[in-house]
């Protein structure tokens, strides 16, 4: 389902450089499979494709169908791991653009994401855009206390209550949060919202195959059963192949390159459907690995667009980068280049080729040029853009990230660093109990 091609690493890594990492990779993989490493209490994602809650799965499908019946818009309020996965995989399945009329005919609400920034214009323009369309709201927050999403929820809840009245509004709000702790769970129970659980043992960025991602993806019409099936298939394959699996080889290659001074991994794709997937990938790896003043900085580019901007840096700038091309073997759609009698643009040599073929050639050409320019690159190819393959890709990246983090001797499952800005922000905003810190920060601003 996922192929790893390493031919453009030849000039950068000798075979022994990977062989000598095998012991560390095996130890890291054992910690993922059996626990025992730092953050082991957050390994729930590993067995999730097999032991997920079937009753909750059915309830997700029922609620998705309800939302499709009564709403033209679903607002998903969440930040980080609480929305990036849903957005990534809904967009990956396309279509890239669909008119509101077409969505209405298919009974697929438009899905919009809120609570992931603090921009007043974003919020107000978005609500103008929703206009008088019927909407439902999925608030997603494991902690229930994240400022960005909690604020969006407060604003939207009030809009909703004004528009529909308290009783109807309560039926249109779906809360995805932890099972018992936290303000959101308490509020949801008191108000009678439908709730879904983010298991205690699954962190935000590993949660796309829980209700966090499954509810919005089901509303968008994705086959979420096939997605879990794909993840399960890849997990079983990895358990069989172990160190020979593409996921563990990918983790080993990243670590080998990092140790040779390649500090930035650029995820590069020519497929426009994968733009948001890159954002999900960046969060998964960035928040998991950037710790203790170590880690590979995950960046992304969307080609061909970025070949005409960042491409210059990739080809010829500081040699601190390696590149991971992510492509799809069978394009979701394809079209042929027509011939032109006059051929004034001199493009007839391409007539008869499909745009997909031209894109594949552009990828080959870019990978070669970048390798020649001193950028080690590897290629991950997904068989098709369907739910089964995307489910496999989710597990692939999650497992690779866990193994890679353990190989680099950090805890891939916490995110202490994210708290620093929050502490300052809450103090400066005047949160009760934080007056002393507020004073100290004010003096330094
Ligand atoms: O991966 C993570 O744990 C984070 O990115 C969280 O998903 C993000 O901070 C949102 O947290 P919460 O769901 O508690 O609002």
Q: For the residues of 198-225, what is the DSSP string, one character each? A: --TTS-GGG-TTSHHHHHHHHHTT--HH
389-407: pLDDT as tens digits = 999 999 999 999 999 999 9
Residue nearest to atom 2 of ligand 1 (CA): 204
Q: What is the pTM of this model?
A: 0.96
Beta carbons within 10 angstroms of residue 206's beta carbon = 27
Please state the separation of Cα 267 from the chain's center in Å.
13
Kindly give the number of the ligand 1 atom that is closest to the alpha carbon of 203: 3
In 3D space, the residue among 271, 267, 292 whose CA is nearest the CA of residue 282 turns out to be 267
Q: Which residues are within 8 A (CB) of 394 and not within 5 positions of it... i.e. 6 or more apart?
A: 85, 89, 208, 209, 227, 230, 231
- For range 206-225, the mean pLDDT: 98
182-208: pLDDT as tens digits = 899 999 999 999 999 999 999 999 999
Cα 113 to ligand 1 centroid, rounded to whole Å: 15
CA atoms within 13 A on the CB side of 319: 12
Residue 218 near residue 68, CB atoms below 8 Å: no
Question: For a substitution probing ligand 1, which of 42, 76, 78, 82 has the most ligand atoms within 8 Å of its CB?
Answer: 82
The model's confidence at residue 360, banded by pLDDT at 50, 70 and 90, is very high
Q: Is 125 exposed, middle or buried (0-12, 13-18, 19+ CB in 10 A)?
A: exposed
Tell me which residues have their CB closer than 6 angstroms to ligand 1.
Answer: 79-82, 141-143, 146, 149, 203-205, 287, 415, 418
Cα dihedral sign for 300, 302, 306, 311?
positive
274-283: pLDDT as tens digits = 999 999 999 9
- CA 229 – CA 233 distance, rounded (Å): 6
- For range 75-79, the mean pLDDT: 98
- CA 180 – CA 426 distance, rounded (Å): 24
């Amino acid at each position: 389902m996922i192929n790893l091609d390493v031919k453009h690493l030849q000039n950068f890594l000798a075979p022994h450089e990977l062989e000598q990492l095998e012991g560390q990779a095996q130890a890291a993989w054992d910690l993922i499979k059996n626990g025992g490493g730092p953050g082991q209490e957050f390994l729930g994602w590993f067995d999730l494709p097999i032991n997920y809650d079937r009753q909750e799965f059915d309830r997700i499908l029922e609620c998705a169908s309800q939302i499709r019946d009564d709403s033209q818009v679903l607002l998903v309020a969440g930040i980080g791991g609480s929305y990036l996965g849903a957005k990534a995989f809904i967009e990956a399945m396309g279509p890239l653009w669909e008119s509101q009329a077409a969505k209405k005919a298919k009974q697929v609400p438009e899905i919009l994401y809120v609570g992931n920034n603090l921009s007043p214009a974003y919020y107000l323009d978005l609500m103008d855009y929703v206009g008088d369309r019927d909407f439902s709201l999925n608030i997603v927050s494991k902690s229930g206390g994240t400022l960005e999403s909690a604020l969006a929820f407060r604003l939207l809840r009030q809009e909703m209550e004004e528009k529909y009245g308290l009783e109807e509004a309560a039926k249109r709000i779906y809360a995805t949060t932890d099972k018992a702790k936290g303000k959101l769970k308490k509020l949801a129970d008191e108000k009678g919202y439908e709730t879904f659980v983010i298991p205690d043992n699954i962190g935000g960025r590993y949660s796309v195959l829980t209700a966090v991602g499954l509810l919005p993806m089901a509303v968008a019409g994705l086959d979420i059963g096939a997605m879990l099936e794909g993840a399960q298939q890849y997990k079983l394959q990895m358990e069989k192949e172990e160190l020979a699996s593409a996921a563990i080889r990918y983790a080993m290659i990243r670590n080998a390159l990092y140790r040779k001074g390649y500090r930035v991994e650029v995820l590069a794709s020519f497929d426009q459907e994968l733009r948001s997937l890159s954002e999900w990938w960046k969060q998964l790896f960035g928040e998991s690995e950037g710790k203790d003043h170590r880690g590979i900085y995950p960046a992304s580019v969307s080609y061909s667009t970025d070949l005409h901007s960042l491409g210059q840096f990739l080809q010829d700038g500081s040699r601190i980068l390696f590149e991971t091309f992510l492509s799809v073997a069978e394009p979701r759609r394809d079209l042929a280049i027509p011939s032109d009698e006059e051929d004034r643009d001199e493009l007839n040599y391409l007539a008869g080729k499909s745009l997909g073929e031209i894109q594949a050639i552009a990828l080959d050409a870019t990978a070669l040029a970048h390798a020649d320019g001193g950028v080690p690159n590897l290629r991950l190819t997904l068989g098709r853009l369907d739910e089964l393959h995307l489910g496999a890709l989710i597990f692939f990246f999650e497992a690779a990230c866990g193994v890679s983090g353990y190989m680099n001797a950090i805890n891939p499952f916490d995110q202490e660093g994210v708290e620093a800005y929050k502490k300052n922000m809450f103090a400066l905003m005047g949160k009760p109990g934080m007056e002393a810190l507020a004073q100290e920060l004010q003096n330094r601003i």
